[in-house]
Amino acid sequence: MTGAMRPEMLNPLFAATDGLKGVGPGLARPLEKLGLTRVRDLAYHLPERFVQRRAIASLDVASVGEQVVVALTPREYRSAAGRGPFRIMAEDDLGDYVSLTYFGRNGGWAKKQLPLGERRWVAGRLDQFGQTLQMVHPDHVSEEGGAALSTLCEPVYALSEGLTQGRLQALVAQALEHLADLPEWIEPGLLAKMGWPTWREAIALAHKGEHALARDRLAYDELLANSLALMLVRTANRARIGTPLHGDGHLRALLNLPFALTGAQLRSIREIEDDMQQGAPMLRLLQGDVGSGKTAVALHAMLAAVEAGAQAAMLAPTEILARQHYETLTRMAKGTGVEIALLTGRDKGRARESILMGLLDGSIQICVGTHAIFQDAVAYRNLALVVIDEQHRFGVGQRLLLTQKGRRTPHCLAMTATPIPRTLTLAQYGEMDVSRLDEMPPGRQAIDTRVVALDRLADVVEGVGRHLAKGGQAYWVCPMVRELESEDIAAAEARFAALTARFGDDVVLVHGQLRPEAKDAAMERFASGIAKVLVATTVIEVGVDVPNATLMVIEQAERFGLAQLHQLRGRVGRGSEASTCLLLRGDALSETGRERLALMRETQDGFLLAEEDLRLRGGGELLGTRQSGETPFRVADFEQIARLLPLAHDDARLLIERDGGLDSPRGEAARLLLYLFERDWGVQLLRGG
Ligand code: ADP
Ligand code: MG
């Protein structure tokens, strides 16, 4: 559904990068790994930082490899025979020589810039070639302004294997040539007040140097697109017809849960029930830390729907989680006689047919599964409630669209285990109503969290050994910190090898480059207790539940955000045994790094940690403060989200209040924006879907 209706004006931006000059099959993969498959992606692949050149008085003070600006006087031109490079031998103020080397050129252009005997400022990277110093294709040459050149800076981009900074810079430059002016979607008053450049200028500036206004503008665009899309979903939702559900409680009375619900659970259930009784479909988020008991709340909601004669479905992000939910719900609802089915992409043939029949004739009242439960072939007799276990917080909009099938719109309850700050709640869920499970079930054991210096690694490994000897299992988390993913994986593999050497076959490794089957197999071995230690990069964040694993070691813990650490730590402390989390820290710990780890030791309150996380961000020392997969944003960083999102949100609201169909000139521009940031599911809703 993307693409077909995209405004033509954006076509050049969505052209494939493999159509650019110099992109052969060799570059296609590295580009794809970075998500740079279209011109648009390159334009938004903003530099991570910039290099600045050092102005030097003479060559002897520079080191090889350094980016410098130096005054040179060309003394001699040397044209090599055949296809050799053209060289200009140039002398610095102390009489030392450097070769300015030009490949593939006849030298005409270089001669013009660097006439013999005339002093020029030259900027570039100093290299060694045999016995001589050389500068290959100097970046800049000018008659004066050495100072200006030394304040010039060069972008440094995130790379993947097979790409160099030079290649990427050249590709970005090509991409920028494809940019046309786009109509302005930002409210003119705001644009003027902020002093922001136009979209096209902003992109160009953001690649050129630390340009805060340009970066802010681009971040704002992204936030605005997101807010608009979510608000369109919300508005469309309000206009839809739902099914008022009045559960009379007869099924819930048959539940025989081994515990009493907490106050927070009771309150959330009441809020959900209220919503479901309305004519407009519910759009509610249930936020509750790992272990806060969301499943029981979901079950109550689904039973209320069934009591009212309707069906309910629960959507899980992975097969494993779908299965876990299915088993839990079946166990909990045993006494009620309600028919629950599990439907995943793996089900084939007879079994699948029979589930489809049951959903169609209504004999199955609750269906749990992966996105397979919303495929076209799946028809429900009377689906009136959809619960989305939103472990992976994005794509909420799309998922909501999935539920918009049929004449009547089902009520929707999204559940998230990630306690996020209020500002981010807005970013990810727009104006959904929120219920919070801010109270843990009684009797939870606190996770004993300790900060340990990395130089005590040997002790830590021995500690793991003692833990395993007692029959326990452990997680060992290696972070993703380097520029290239492969290096991180190498580090994780090295740790895996070391632990295997110590503990034998009891160790399994899981990381992002494994094939899904291999990953599943490793997870399965760990979950079933065959494997005792799971070495993993941060992929284990996405819910696994192994109650017997009560020890977690996190390497380079200072590089993680608090929310991420909290999420990771939530993997232990799930059983009745006391759990331990060891945060291994490097020795160069900053003040905020220290503060973060101390907070982890002191509190287990996910909401508090989430708020503090946002406050302590910004130094850029954390793993992926940008493009991390922790937010639905690629351009806006945490600091910008906190500062600009409220503005974007208000702006989006005003625009939609005035021009709900996005028909005004500014509305049209806003449509472009939605396509640009691929929030066009927002636009689809406008077409009366
Ligand atoms: P999550 O919010 O992470 O999905 P679960 O629903 O899986 O949490 O609940 C975690 C554990 O707590 C389960 O074993 C569940 O049975 C238990 N639990 C849920 N509610 C309560 C309660 N009110 N009192 C005691 N235990 C509870
Ligand atoms: Mg859960």
Average pLDDT score, the chain: 86
Structure tokens of 554? 């996190």
pLDDT value of residue 206: 95
* Distance of alpha carbon 115 from the chain centroid: 51
Expressed in angstroms and rounded, the spacing between residue 294 Cα and the centre of ligand 2 is: 6
Q: Which residue minimizes the CA distance to atom 27 of ligand 1? A: 441
Pick the range with the lowest mean pLDDT from 129-138, 597-606, 647-656, 658-667.
129-138
The Å distance, Cα 29 to ligand 1 centre, comes to 44
Residue type, 437: L
> Which numbered ligand comes closest to the C-alpha of 574?
1
pTM greater than 0.85 (yes/no): no
Token reading at 556:
């380079």
488 or 408: whose pLDDT is higher? 408
346 band by pLDDT with thresholds 50, 70 and 90: confident
Q: Kindly indicate the confidence band of residue 550, based on its pLDDT and cuts at 50, 70 and 90.
A: very high
pLDDT band at residue 396 using 50, 70 and 90 as cut-offs: low
pLDDT at residue 627 is higher than 50 = no
Q: By C-alpha distance, which of 543, 554, 533, 525 is closest to 472?
A: 533
Whole-angstrom distance, CA of residue 586 vs CA of residue 602:
20
Nearest-angstrom CA–CA distance, 312 and 196: 48
* HSE-up (13 A, CA, CB side) for residue 526: 26
Write the class of the CATH domain 52-154: mainly beta
Whether the pLDDT of residue 406 is over 70: the answer is no
Nearest atom of ligand 1 to the alpha carbon of 570: 3
CA neighbours within 13 Å on the CB side: how many for 177? 8
Average pLDDT on 365-370 reads: 94
Both structure tokens of 26: 């060799």
Q: Nearest C-alpha to atom 26 of ligand 1 is from which residue?
A: 441
Phi, psi for residue 592 in degrees, rounded to 5? -70, -30
pLDDT band at 329; cut points 50, 70, 90: very high
Query: Quick one: which atom of ligand 1 is closest to the CA of 260?
Result: 23
Is pLDDT at 452 greater than 70 in this prediction?
yes
Residue 104 or 230, more confident: 230
Q: How far is the CA of 296 from the centre of ligand 1 (A)?
A: 7
Q: Which residue has the higher pLDDT, 80 or 287?
A: 287
Contact 48, 156 (CB under 8 A): yes
Please report the DSSP string for 675-687 in residue order.
HHTT-THHHHHHT
Distance 294 CA to ligand 1 centre (A): 7
d(CA 597, CA 585): 9
Q: What is the pLDDT of residue 115?
A: 95
Per-residue pLDDT, 682: 67
Mean pLDDT of 344-368: 91
Which single residue is written with the structure tokens 């689906």?
A: 383
Nearest CA to ligand 1 atom 25: 441
Determine which residue's CA is closest to atom 18 belonging to ligand 1.
293
Q: Could you confirm whether domain 252-437 is CATH 3.40.50.300?
A: yes
pLDDT confidence of 625, banded at 50, 70, 90? very low
Predicted confidence band of residue 460 (pLDDT cuts 50, 70, 90): very high
- In angstroms, what is the span from residue 680 Cα to ligand 2's centroid? 30
438-443: long-range contacts at Cβ-Cβ below 8 A with a sequence spacing of 24 or more? 438/264, 438/288, 438/607, 439/262, 439/263, 439/264, 439/292, 440/262, 440/289, 440/291, 440/292, 441/259, 441/262, 441/291, 441/292, 441/293, 442/262
Residue 109 pLDDT > 80, yes or no? no
State the closest ligand 1 atom to the C-alpha of 437, by its place in the atom list counted from 1.
2
Domain spans in the chain, listed from the N-terminal domain onward: 8-48+158-180, 52-154, 212-239+645-686, 252-437, 448-603
Query: What's the pLDDT score for residue 688?
Result: 47
> What is residue 190's three-state secondary structure?
helix
pLDDT at 393 over 60: no
Ligand 1 pocket, CB under 6 A? 259, 261-262, 265, 288, 290-296, 417, 441
In the predicted model, what is the mean pLDDT of residues 502-525?
86
Q: How far is the CA of 287 from the centre of ligand 1 (A)?
A: 14
Instruction: Kindly give the pairing relationship between strand 120-125 and strand 67-79.
Output: antiparallel
The residue with tokens 């790379």 is 159
Helix (H) / strand (E) element for 499: namely helix 485-503
Ligand 1 mean position, distance from CA 440 (Å): 8
Mean pLDDT across 219-236: 90
pLDDT of residue 310: 96
> Can you give the pLDDT at residue 626?
44
Can 252-437 and 448-603 be said to share one CATH topology?
yes
- Rounded to an integer, what distance in angstroms lies between the CA atom of residue 171 and that of residue 284? 43
- Confidence tier at 297 by pLDDT (50, 70, 90): very high
Residue 331 pLDDT > 90: yes
Please identify, by atom number, the ligand 1 atom nearest to the C-alpha of residue 389: 4
Helix (H) or strand (E) segment spanning residue 604: none
pLDDT score recorded for residue 294: 94
480 has pLDDT over 80: no
Q: Has residue 624 got a pLDDT over 60? A: no
Read off the pLDDT of each residue in 529-534 and give the average, rounded to a whole number. Answer: 95
Rounded to whole angstroms, how far apart are CA atoms 420 and 422? 6
Question: Dihedral, CA atoms, 151, 157, 158, 159, nearest 10 degrees?
Answer: -130
* CA distance linking residue 247 with residue 277, whole number of Å: 9
Q: Whose Cα sits closest to atom 5 in ligand 1? A: 293
Secondary structure string (H, E, C) spanning 458-469? HHHHHHHHHHHH
Query: How many angstroms separate the CA atoms of 313 and 374, rounded?
Result: 9
Q: What is the mean pLDDT of residues 652-666?
A: 93
What Rg value do the Cα atoms of the chain yield, rounded?
A: 29
When pLDDT is averaged across residues 350-372 and rounded to a whole number, the result is 93
For a ligand 1 pocket test, name from 255, 256, 287, 292 the mutation site with the most ligand atoms within 8 angstroms of its C-beta. 292
Domain 448-603 coded CATH 3.50.4.10 = no
Atom 17 of ligand 1, residue of closest alpha carbon: 293
Confidence band (pLDDT; 50, 70, 90) for 484? Answer: low
Q: Report pLDDT for 628.
A: 47
